[in-house]
Amino acid sequence: MEAASLDGHVGGFTIEESARRLGHYRWASIRLFEVLGRWVASVPEPNVKVFLAAASRHHGWHADLLRERLPEVRELHPDRQTAPADPRLVELFDELESLRGSDITPERLTGVYGVVIPHLIEVQSWHLDRCTDVADASVIRTLGFVLRDEVGDVEAGRRLLEQLDSGMDSAARTAAFRSTIEELLSAAGGISGPGTLVDTREISGRSSSAPDDVDVPG
């Protein structure tokens, strides 16, 4: 549980704002855990299957870590705060989960590692930039662990995508699906809701060697 200051703030956020944002991140982590885990059985590529199983476990662990960081004060409750910021995010993850077929791995990897997790990295990095060392030490450490995994998984997911042998038809379907996911994310206003879409930044060069060494945008 994060310590609150006398004016009701946790670091650079009010307690309510901190709970809301962390709850949105946790909800997204749970859905990623579920979606990627369900994909494992149906992807035909053995290397992608192994990768998705490990990535799913990462998101399950992230959900546990974020649960511990949710404030438990006044009327707030961690489970109540674990919710999507906008109903269109439910639709977005339903779109991801509904993908069926033996040749849709490019769409799956593009939706998650080309759109959703890069956006999640930016939102959480923005949050991390606004934390204070005194009030938010545990949040800083937790987001460091989460970001390290997410950055590494995006890099691995993109490498796998580059290795897939996809023809023109597959490339067209993948581009169309990417547009669908981007449009839903934009319409929702981002993982943390309206006003939380941030500029895309280059993430490929960030360190993932240790939780405390995560290189996030300044």
Amino acid 195: pLDDT: 54
Q: pTM (2 decimals)?
A: 0.83
Instruction: Look at residue 212 in the predicted model and tell me its pLDDT.
Output: 42
Rounded Cα distance between 36 and 109, Å, is 10
pLDDT bucket at 194, cuts 50 / 70 / 90: low
Which residue type does 61 have? W
Q: What is the pLDDT of residues 37-47, one digit of tens each?
A: 999 999 999 99
Q: Do 191 and 184 form a contact (C-beta atoms < 8 A)?
A: no
In this structure, of 20-24, 74-78, 124-128, the range with the lowest mean pLDDT score is 74-78
Please state the φ and ψ torsions of residue 14, each to the nearest 5 degrees: -70, 165
Q: Which residue is it, tokens 């994310």?
A: 185
